[in-house]
Every structure is written in structure tokens, then in C-alpha cells.
């Protein structure tokens, strides 16, 4: 039995063992260099081995690693909350910390439920989500999302408080000849109809990823989509939760992805780039509207995790966010993102099996098709996205496959979401390995 069998219960699986990371590269125990084209799972924004973050963790570890946060507060947690809230003090009143993206989503859902209880509308317990979506692995978050493969073993037990509308997925769902305005109107109408079918005064919140990662491979929203979503939510007084666990904190070229949509959320989740993988930590940003309900009732969110607001995790996140601000990394993302955009299009626009290239900043998705004209998928049994990822690792680049499904059919995409610090030369290396790996993987399929 290999150690990996012990860890992940995957028989006969021996993925490469990483022993070191530096910049955008990982190194395995057999000294192979792998450029990390997805920064793990869109986590590693600063790359690996950042001395400043490591030193700040050492300093904090010498002071205090853990305090029980029901009885105490701690310096890095307060500083982190201040940094996050002060980016948009007009929008957010408070920051709440948890340990993973899933926990942040669960907390955001609880904030919404408790908000309505405090407002005297306890019957608002229903959530509306989107048909292709992923919001985490814990049972409730998995139930709210629609990731078919991870949900499959548990479908019978999900809470019956969610319904689903179409996501904004122009490549496959915008009709021929339809303008962006018409497409947005169709989605707006569908959302409104769903609210009316459920009964608006039974709905706590609508939840969506601003730019969706896992299940939709960075399918950017069409202009005006989120304005329409906000409009319908406001019309029925329904809270809007934006899940920016993957797309947030700089990745799309603005600090929050919603800044490019001309709207603001009532609750927002963040995780992956919060501490850039140096520590596990996530947050919920709470708007003035939601916080006011808690403040007026002197209420506390009925949610507690032993390790939340963990001093060591918060200290890593504080340093990561200070570097982000000091080095103006959001602007650098926009600049290197433009280069990535150009190179992806230059390399793959004419590729017969790359159906769509979409994204923003350093958050890009390539969707693979058997036939470009009909947009027909490859046979799901070949798991082409996962195969390209596997071949990519062999060729020296890690690129995370998405878990796309459309109308219950498995779809293939690859996410290109490198660390924010990636250089043009490294982008070139990444794209040339990706191109080689796509061709090699597809050539290996039976006809």
C-alpha cells in the first residue's frame, strides 16, 4: 500500500510527491520542476516560498499560535478584518473568519437565515442557486451547488430548500442571433419567475459565483447580468450572496470580482488567495444591511469553529494582503492578464478542439469540444480535461481540470489561473506546455 492509498483511499494511485516550491514552480522528490499553471486550485497568488510571509508566520508562531476565539480576540485577526473591510467601508461592516471555502459558504448561508429571523421573517429559508455551480464540499454547501460528480453519493440527503436557475454561460446558452441584452433579459425573467414560483417571502438569498470556476471554467458573466440579478433580488428584498472563494481578492484584475459588475453583494465569501495557501483560512464579508440586523438585536451568528480567526492563519493572510496592496498586485494581475489573454487567443483560437477561451485577469478557462462547429463534447468516458491535466504534469505544467457539466453531461475544461507574480516568459512556458499536452492527450484518444 502506498502512502497515497493511506491518505486518499485511491487504490493504485501514485501522484508525484512535491517536496519544495519556489516562485511559480513546484519540485518533486525526483527533482522534476512543474510550473503551477493553476496556483494549486487558484490559491497560490504569491507563488511558493515567499520569505516575507514565511517570516511573518515565524514571528507570530513565537508570540501565540492559537487562542480560543469565543473568549479572546487576537491581533492578526483584528488587523485582517480591518484590511478587508477598509477596502470598501461603504459596502462592508464586518469580516467573519472560518477555515475553508466551504465553511465560509456555510457561514454566509447561516448569516442569511439568521438575518431573516432577526428581521421577523423566519419563513425565509429557501435559497436559489444556479444549475452549474460549486459552493463547497460540506453537505449543505454541496446541496446548494450542483456539482454532479461530488453530489452523486449524497443526493438523497440534501436539504430540500434550494432551487436552481440557469447560470450566465454565453458560449453554450446564448441563442444564435440573441444580443447580450436579450440574453440577460431572458435570465433575469427566469430568475424572477423562479422567485415567484417559490414565493419571494420564502426566499433567504440568491447565491452565485461572480466569475464561476470549478463547474463553468471561468465563464465570465455577460455585461449587465449581475445588474439584472441585483435588480430582481432588490425587487423582492432577497439577499445576494456572491461566492468569491475562487475568483476573489485580485484574481480577476480587481480586488473583488464584483467591482467589474457595477453591483455590491449583501454577503461575500473569500478563501483561496486570502492567505495564498500559506495557511488555510476563509472569510465572509458582511454588508451594513446584514450587520445592522445583528447589531440592533445584539445578536451573534450562531456558528463556531474551534480554529476560526486562528492567529497564525490570520497573520499569514495579513502579510499576503499587505503585499497585495503594497506591490499593487491587482494592477499587475490586470497587466499580466492582458498578456495571458493575448497569448491564449493567439495559440488556441484556431485549435480544432478548443471551443471557447474566456476569463479575466489571471483566471482563464479553455473549454474542449470534439467538434467546434456543433460544440459537441468529447465522450465523457474519456474525461478529456482530466487527461490533459495528467499529461500536463508529465510535461512539466500543472493545470487544474474543471468539473463542468451541462444539462447533466460531463464537459471538459482546463483552468489557467497562475500565481499573480507570473512573468511573461513563464506565461510563454506554461502555454507551450499546455498546447503540447492538449495535442498529446487528444491524439491518445481512440477514434
Pairwise CA distance, residues 338 & 113, whole Å: 40
Mask of contacts with ligand PMP, 263-282, x by CB under 6 A?
--------x-----------
| Cell numbers standing for residue 334 | 490586470
- Binding part of the chain for ligand PMP, among 83-91, 106-114, 128-136, 314-322 by CB under 6 A, reads 128-136
Q: In what order do the strands lie in the sheet with 363-368?
A: 354-360, 363-368, 412-416, 400-401
The DSSP bridge pattern shows strands 397-398 and 33-36 to be parallel
How near is the Cβ of 246 to ligand PMP at its closest, in Å?
4
How near is the Cβ of 271 to ligand PMP at its closest, in Å?
5
Can residue 401 be called a binding residue for ligand PMP (CB under 6 A)?
Answer: no
- Binding part of the chain for ligand PMP, among 206-214, 220-228, 300-308, 324-332 by CB under 6 A, reads 206-214
> Cβ of 14: how many Cβ atoms within 10 Å?
10
Task: Please provide the DSSP assignment of 15-52 as one string.
Answer: PPPEEEEEBTEEEETT--EEEETTHHHHT-SS-B--HH
Can residue 102 be called a binding residue for ligand PMP (CB under 6 A)?
Answer: yes
Pairwise CA distance, residues 387 & 403, whole Å: 12
Residue whose beta carbon is closest to ligand PMP = 101
Residue from 173, 198, 246, 276 in contact with ligand PMP (CB under 6 A): 246
- Binding part of the chain for ligand PMP, among 108-116, 130-138, 365-373, 385-393 by CB under 6 A, reads 130-138
Can residue 200 be called a binding residue for ligand PMP (CB under 6 A)?
Answer: no
| Cell numbers standing for residue 271 | 478563501
How near is the Cβ of 215 to ligand PMP at its closest, in Å?
9
How near is the Cβ of 398 to ligand PMP at its closest, in Å?
15
Q: 382 CB contacts (<8 Å, ≥6 apart)? A: 445
Q: Is residue 435 left, alpha or beta, with left meaning phi > 0 and alpha meaning psi from -120 to 50?
A: alpha
CA 76 vs. chain centroid, Å, equals 24
How near is the Cβ of 62 to ligand PMP at its closest, in Å?
28
The footprint of ligand PMP on residues 210-239 (CB under 6 A) is: 213-214
Cα torsion at 310, 311, 314, 320 (round to 10°)? -140
CB of 270 or CB of 347, closer to ligand PMP: 270
CB of 218 or CB of 246, closer to ligand PMP: 246
Q: Is residue 37 left, alpha or beta, with left meaning phi > 0 and alpha meaning psi from -120 to 50?
A: alpha
Pairwise CA distance, residues 210 & 364, whole Å: 14
Can residue 136 be called a binding residue for ligand PMP (CB under 6 A)?
Answer: yes
Q: 82 CB contacts (<8 Å, ≥6 apart)? A: none
CB 358, CB 365: distance < 8 Å:
yes
| Per-residue buried b or exposed e for 340-379, using 16+ beta carbons within 10 Å of the residue's own CB | bbebbeebbeebebbbbbbbbbbbbbbbbbbeeeeeebbe
| Cell numbers standing for residue 257 | 470580482
Can residue 412 be called a binding residue for ligand PMP (CB under 6 A)?
Answer: no
How near is the Cβ of 424 to ligand PMP at its closest, in Å?
27
Residue from 2, 28, 87, 137 in contact with ligand PMP (CB under 6 A): 137
Residue from 124, 135, 172, 353 in contact with ligand PMP (CB under 6 A): 135
How near is the Cβ of 41 to ligand PMP at its closest, in Å?
6
Can residue 317 be called a binding residue for ligand PMP (CB under 6 A)?
Answer: no
The footprint of ligand PMP on residues 8-47 (CB under 6 A) is: 41
CB of 134 or CB of 420, closer to ligand PMP: 134
Residue from 106, 192, 209, 356 in contact with ligand PMP (CB under 6 A): 209
Closest CA to 374 of 115, 95, 84, 171: 171
- Binding part of the chain for ligand PMP, among 20-28, 129-137, 234-242, 359-367 by CB under 6 A, reads 129-137
CB of 208 or CB of 369, closer to ligand PMP: 208
CB of 37 or CB of 213, closer to ligand PMP: 213
Pairwise CA distance, residues 268 & 95, whole Å: 10
Residue from 46, 107, 144, 245 in contact with ligand PMP (CB under 6 A): 245
Residues that bind ligand PMP (CB under 6 A): 41, 100-102, 105, 134-137, 209, 213-214, 243, 245-246, 271
Amino acid at each position: 500500500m502506498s502512502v497515497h492509498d493511506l491518505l486518499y483511499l485511491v487504490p493504485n494511485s501514485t501522484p508525484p510527491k512535491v517536496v519544495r516550491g519556489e516562485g511559480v514552480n513546484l519540485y518533486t522528490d525526483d527533482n522534476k520542476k512543474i510550473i503551477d499553471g493553476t496556483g494549486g486550485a487558484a490559491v497560490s497568488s504569491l507563488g511558493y516560498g515567499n520569505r516575507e510571509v514565511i517570516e511573518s508566520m515565524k514571528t507570530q508562531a513565537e508570540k501565540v499560535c492559537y487562542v480560543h476565539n469565543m473568549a479572546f480576540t487576537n491581533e492578526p485577526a483584528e488587523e485582517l478584518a480591518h484590511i478587508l473591510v477598509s477596502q470598501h467601508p461603504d459596502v462592508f461592516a464586518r469580516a467573519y473568519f472560518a477555515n475553508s471555502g466551504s465553511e465560509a459558504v456555510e457561514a454566509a448561508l447561516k448569516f442569511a437565515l439568521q438575518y431573516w429571523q432577526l428581521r421577523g421573517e423566519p419563513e425565509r429559508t429557501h435559497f436559489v442557486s444556479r444549475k452549474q455551480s460549486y459552493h463547497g464540499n460540506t453537505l449543505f454547501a454541496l446541496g446548494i451547488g450542483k456539482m454532479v460528480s461530488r453530489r452523486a453519493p449524497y443526493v438523497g440527503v440534501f436539504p430540500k430548500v434550494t432551487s436552481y436557475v440557469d447560470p450566465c454561460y454565453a458560449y453554450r446558452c446564448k441563442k444564435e442571433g440573441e444580443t447580450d441584452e436579450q440574453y440577460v433579459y431572458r435570465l433575469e425573467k427566469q430568475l424572477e419567475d423562479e422567485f415567484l414560483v417559490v414565493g419571494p417571502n420564502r426566499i433567504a438569498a440568491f447565491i452565485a459565483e461572480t466569475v464561476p470556476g470549478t463547474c463553468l471554467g471561468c465563464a465570465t458573466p455577460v455585461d449587465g447580468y449581475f445588474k439584472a440579478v441585483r435588480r430582481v433580488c432588490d425587487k423582492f428584498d432577497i439577499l445576494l450572496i456572491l461566492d468569491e472563494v475562487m475568483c476573489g481578492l485580485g484574481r480577476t484584475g480587481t480586488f473583488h470580482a464584483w467591482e467589474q459588475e457595477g453591483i455590491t453583494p449583501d454577503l461575500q465569501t473569500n478563501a483561496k488567495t486570502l492567505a495564498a495557501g500559506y495557511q488555510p483560512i476563509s472569510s465572509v464579508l458582511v454588508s451594513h444591511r446584514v450587520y445592522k440586523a445583528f447589531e440592533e438585536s445584539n445578536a451573534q451568528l450562531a456558528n463556531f469553529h474551534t480554529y476560526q480567526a486562528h492567529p497564525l492563519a490570520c497573520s499569514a493572510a495579513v502579510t499576503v494582503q499587505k503585499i497585495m496592496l503594497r506591490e499593487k498586485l491587482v494592477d499587475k494581475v490586470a497587466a499580466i492578464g492582458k498578456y495571458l489573454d493575448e497569448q491564449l487567443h493567439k495559440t488556441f483560437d484556431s485549435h480544432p478542439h478548443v471551443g471557447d477561451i474566456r476569463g479575466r485577469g489571471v483566471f482563464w478557462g479553455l473549454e474542449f469540444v470534439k467538434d467546434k462547429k456543433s460544440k459537441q463534447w468529447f465522450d465523457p468516458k474519456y474525461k478529456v480535461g482530466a487527461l490533459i491535466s495528467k499529461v500536463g504534469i508529465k510535461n512539466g505544467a500543472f493545470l487544474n481540470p474543471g468539473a463542468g457539466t451541462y444539462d447533466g453531461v460531463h464537459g471538459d475544461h482546463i483552468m489557467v489561473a497562475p500565481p499573480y507574480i507570473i512573468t511573461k516568459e513563464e506565461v510563454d512556458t506554461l502555454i507551450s506546455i499546455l498546447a503540447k499536452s492538449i495535442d498529446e492527450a487528444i491524439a491518445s484518444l481512440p477514434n
